[in-house]
A and B are shown apart, each in its own frame.
Chain A
Amino acid sequence: MEVLTFPAVLENLPRFVESVRAGAESFGLNRKKVQRLELALEEALVNVASYAYPQGTGSVEVRFECRNESDFVVEIIDQGAPFDILARTDPDTTQDIDERKIGGLGILLIKEVLDHVDYRREAGKNILTFTLAKEGM
């Protein structure tokens, strides 16, 4: 398992994404899934950078590994206030330009592009788990 820890600021985004992408590619995840993973990673990291530490900054930990030779699993861990992103209501994607609100899209994208996503709260941490299977599109 690879573990990376950085201050949760936007400037670190490319570094995180690059490291996880390299891991996913060596695992053999197909190109489409790697692209989707990058997107979900950005959305999750931007959420942590924007909301997890209202009092200042904190760190975010990203762990990734291959499980059972069939799944690429990424965990994004922060020590911010409890925040279950999966419990949020999705934005209404049928609204027209005047009605559409600016927020909420990041979480929707995370939920839609991964094979599986999980949230748990443990020991004062938010743990978001992404799973992508080697098989399938």
Chain B
Amino acid sequence: MNIVTKKDEKAMIVSLEGRMDALSSPEFEKEMNGLVDKDETLLVVDCSNLEYISSSGLRSILTVAKKLKTRNGRILLASLTDMVKEVFEISGFSNIIPIHSSLEDALADL
């Protein structure tokens, strides 16, 4: 999975491309934790090119979200594709991680 980060005036925008599975989730978690450690505590994740997520991906997102909460930060997700959205709904994650239909909407929610 490709991870590209871009600093926006309101938040750090993280663009994911590919699949977040058991092999790629640790890298995602490490990179997000690195951002949080550098005081980037507003993360908006653009999922428009994220094709797939498994429970490993959900676990990484939850770990990052819990860490951000302790720092009064937030993580928001934008533009989830069908299967990814389904996984979020089944797991109940759609109720605990803010999800927006577009990057613009996510940034407006900050």
* A interface residues, Cβ below 8 angstroms from B: 10-11, 13-14, 32, 35-36, 38-39, 42-43, 46, 92-98, 100, 102-103, 105-106, 108-109, 112-113
Contact = CB atoms under 8 A, between A and B. Distances in A.
Nearest to B63: A102
> Chain B's interface: helix, strand, loop or mixed, by majority?
helix
Interface of B: 21-23, 52, 54-56, 58-59, 62-63, 65-66, 69, 82-83, 86-87, 90-92, 95-97
20 contacts: A10-B22, A10-B23, A13-B21, A14-B23, A36-B83, A39-B83, A43-B55, A46-B54, A46-B55, A92-B92, A93-B95, A95-B96, A96-B95, A97-B66, A97-B96, A102-B62, A103-B59, A106-B55, A109-B55, A109-B90
Contacts of A109: 54-55, 87, 90-91
Contacts of A14: 23
Contacts, number: 70
A19 B69 CA distance: 41
Given A35-B52, A39-B52, A97-B69, A108 B91 contact: yes
Contacts of B55: 43, 46, 105-106, 108-109
- Main SS of the interface on chain A? helix
Contact of B95 (A11, A94, A108, A113): A94
